[in-house]
Amino acid sequence: MQKAWWQGKVAYQIYPRSFKDSNGDGIGDLRGIIEKLPYIASLGVEILYLNPIFASPGADNGYDISDYRKINPQFGTLADLDELIARAKERGISIILDMVLSYTSCEHELFKRALSGRKAPERDFYYFVRGSNGRTPDNLRSFFGGSVWERVPGEDDLYYLHYFTKEQPELNWYNEQLRQRMSDLINWWLDRGIAGFRLDAIMNVVKDRTFPGLPPDELGDGSCAAARMNAKLAAQAPSLHQELKKHSYGPRGAFTVAEAFGLNDTILDQFIGDEGCFSTVFDFTARETIEKNRPGYYAYPKGTLKIYRDGNFHMQQLTSPLGLVAPILENHDEPRAVSFYLDEGQQNAQGARALGTVFMFLRGIPFIYQGQELGLTNTRFDSIGEIDDVQSKNEYRNALAHGFSKEQALAILNVHSRDHARTPLPWDDSPHAGFTTGRPWLKLHQDAQSLNVAAQEQDPGSVLNYYRALVALRKRGAWQECFCSGDFIPGPTADDHVMHYLRKGTGKCAEIVGNFSTKERVFELSGEGRILLCSIPEARVEGRRLTLGATGAAVVEILPGRSA
Ligand code: TEU
Ligand code: CA
């Protein structure tokens, strides 16, 4: 693999609405991010990924974009973004934006023109399809529930396609002119100093344009999840993305990370590596295990360490010969990892440190999600009125429709809602946790008064300071190469409460061991070692044995020449 500028770096994801509000309107913004750049830099991260900040009516928190060259005034101006790019650069941080190219907002100029008449050239940029006798063209179901088809007002039996809210019409990637416009757009942003992109929902761009539908799935209402169609057509995706790469981010050396759900093992080699469509792809294997063949939150199991471990181990091994994956513990679409993957007694700072350790040394480009570095847990939502997220609201209705009581439906959201990741970041113990001087757009975490950045800055043993040590170790000298692209070798997996793996680079070798059981455990190492970092004081190495206390993790260097 050739060495690219982004290799060896650690990335940080910001959900701008919830990061820091600079002007008291209760919504985080670009000036808030600029203000907190010293904090971001202090983490040691060098790539900053921002969720969508483009002009948007807000049907799905900015994922419905009406103008891809304008900044949503809620977040600031283009000048603010230019300043953020420049100031971040001074600190060695590159900015990447969320490119949502599989659909636009229905308020986008192109969709408005497409709606305006059958002859409009923009009509073919989207999918307009006739139904028959009042029936939709097929039975596919949107990711947010309900049909993927919406009636075109004023026309009989004519529908447009949307995979998420009805305000997000799908774009027709088979139209060459449209693909040209997308390349131009990406190049326009690269010219402004953007270093790359997170590419949204890239598996959704494939379509069977005869719209045959699929056999009904587990939901039981005759519909079938659109995601199933993506899985069926997945082999078509690489060529569409290859072309975009060729005309835009490829020749410019930009960093791209794809949100690719339903990546199957046979096409992965076309997505990553030197010849792949993207620099890297997020690892959603654990997430997919939760969601697989289940029609909604009400049917999802809670996560476990085993699910997290097995998903990552699978993807680590699969990607190692091909390129780099992007491991995550959290993002804006998932609950907080400490609450989700850990057992009840471990959903605390100690659990957060241990989980952070086994995550941070996975192979690839790790992405830390805002608040993860504080060990934030899920927020307690006391009523459905406290929930903002469109998907969560739909899942609440879905649970009610499947016979759950209101209390049960709310309890389901308290495990699975995306809003757990979206509550404002707690900065200090002032009103609204220093996030805003106004009224925060979403409720604050119940522990924000004590669980916040300022409190953790003061405490050398905090999750925050521990995360800084994790990132620093990952980037230290020859370890950087070892941890980014060195070999990944899974350890024993017989115990569901253990996550143990080995990383081996040129001249460097380390074992990462997490003990998530309730007892002290002894682990056999592959050679004599010494501890580089551990999440609890109860950790020692004697010869080839590591003794590790409960809910603890350690990074052990295997000394050269001393391995078995
Ligand atoms: O997500 C697209 C997407 O594929 C996810 O909804 C995915 O199905 C889900 O996370 C699986 O758990 C993007 C954004 O990340 C998300 O926030 C948006 O809501 C979505 O697009 C639609 O706009
Ligand atoms: Ca604001």
Quick one: average pLDDT of 32-49? 98
Residue nearest to ligand 1 atom 2, measured at CA: 201
- Whether 28 and 21 have beta carbons less than 8 Å apart is answered as yes
CB atoms near residue 415 (< 10 Å): 16
322-361 pLDDT tens trace: 999 999 999 999 999 999 999 999 999 999 999 999 999 9
Tell me which ligand sits closest to the C-alpha of residue 74.
2
Does residue 2 surpass a pLDDT of 80? no
Cα–Cα distance, 393 to 331 (Å, whole number): 19
Kind of pairing between the strands at 508-515 and 498-505: antiparallel
Average pLDDT rounded to a whole number, residues 465-484: 98
Cα 415 to chain center, whole Å?
18
What is the value of pTM for the model shown? 0.98
259 is known as an active-site residue = yes
| Token digits of residue 194 | 């953007």
Once rounded to an integer, what is the mean pLDDT over residues 274-301?
A: 96
Residue ID of nearest Cα to ligand 1 atom 23: 63
The CB of 287 under 6 Å from ligand 1? The reply is: yes
Q: Is 80 exceeded by the pLDDT of residue 32?
A: yes
pLDDT digits (tens, 9 = 90+) for 217-271: 999 999 999 999 999 999 999 999 999 999 999 999 999 999 999 887 889 999 9
Instruction: Give helix 463-475 / helix 349-360 axis angle, nearest 10°.
Output: 10
What separation in Å is there between the alpha carbon of 197 and the centre of ligand 2?
A: 24
At 470 the three-state DSSP class reads helix
Q: What is the pLDDT of residues 398-415, one digit of tens each?
A: 999 999 999 999 999 999
Out of 29, 138, 259, 330, the active site residue is 259
- For the cut 80, the answer to whether the pLDDT of residue 561 exceeds it is no
333 CA distance to ligand 1 centroid (A)? 7
CA of 166 to the centre of ligand 1 (A): 14
Instruction: For residue 101, give the amino acid letter.
Output: L
Q: Which ligand 1 atom lies nearest to the CA of residue 103? A: 23
Encoded tokens for 124: 């073919």
Q: What is the pLDDT of residue 262?
A: 87
Q: What is the pLDDT of residues 122-147, one digit of tens each?
A: 999 999 999 998 899 999 999 999 99
Q: Where are the beta strands (DSSP E) in 265-407?
A: 280-282, 324-326, 367-369
Helix axes 390-401, 406-416, angle to 10 degrees: 140
Ligand having the closest approach to the CA of 17: 2
Alpha helices in 282-344 (DSSP H): 285-291, 305-319, 337-341
In this structure, which ligand is nearest to the CA of 143? 1
Secondary structure of residue 113 in the 3-state scheme: helix
Name 416's Cβ contacts closer than 8 Å, sequence gap at least 6.
297, 300, 335, 392, 395
- State yes or no: pLDDT of 117 exceeds 90: no
Angle, helices 237-247 vs 176-191, to 10°: value is 50
pLDDT band at 562, cuts 50/70/90?
A: low
Output the CA 358–ligand 1 centroid distance in Å. 26
Q: What is the 3-class SS of 404-438, one letter each residue? A: CCHHHHHHHHHHHCCHHHHCCCCCCCCHHHHCCCC
To test the pocket of ligand 1, the residue of 53, 54, 63 to mutate (highest count of ligand atoms within 8 Å of its CB) is: 63
Nearest Cα residue to atom 6 of ligand 1: 143
Residue nearest to atom 16 of ligand 1 (CA): 333
**Of all atoms in ligand 1, which is nearest to the CA of residue 203?**
4
Contact 189, 199 (CB under 8 A): no
Structural domains in the chain, CATH included, are 11-101+176-468 (3.20.20.80), 109-161 (3.90.400.10), 489-563 (2.60.40.1180)
Query: 204 pLDDT exceeds 60?
Result: yes
Cα–ligand 2 centroid distance for 67 (angstroms)? 20
**Whether residue 21 has its Cβ less than 6 Å from ligand 1:** no
pLDDT confidence band for 465 (50 / 70 / 90): very high
Please give the pLDDT value at position 168: 98
User: Quick one: pLDDT band at residue 564, thresholds 50, 70, 90?
Assistant: low
Q: Is 395 in the pocket of ligand 1 (CB under 6 A)?
A: no
Q: Is 407 a catalytic residue?
A: no
Residue 434 identity (one-letter amino acid): G
SS (H, E, C) 210-259: CCCCCCCCCCCCCCEEHHHHHHHHHHHHHHHHHHHHHHCHHHHCCEEEEC
Q: Which atom of ligand 1 is nearest to the CA of 168?
A: 23
127 in Cβ contact with 172 (< 8 Å): yes
High-pLDDT (> 90) share of the chain, %: 95
Per-residue pLDDT tens over the stretch 48-100: 999 999 999 999 999 999 999 999 999 999 999 999 999 999 999 999 999 99
The ligand whose atoms approach the alpha carbon of 333 most closely is 1
Task: Quote the Cα angle for 545-549-552, to 5°.
Answer: 100
Q: Give, for 124, the enclosing helix (H) or strand (E).
A: none
**Of 227, 57, 15, the residue nearest 140 (C-alpha):** 227
Asked if 466 and 448 touch (Cβ cutoff 8 Å), the reply is no
Point out the catalytic residue in the list 29, 64, 200, 310: 200
pLDDT at 156: 87
Say which residues have a Cβ less than 8 Å from residue 79's Cβ, sequence separation at least 6. Answer: none
Q: What is the CA(392)–ligand 1 centre distance, in A?
A: 12
DSSP character for 174? T
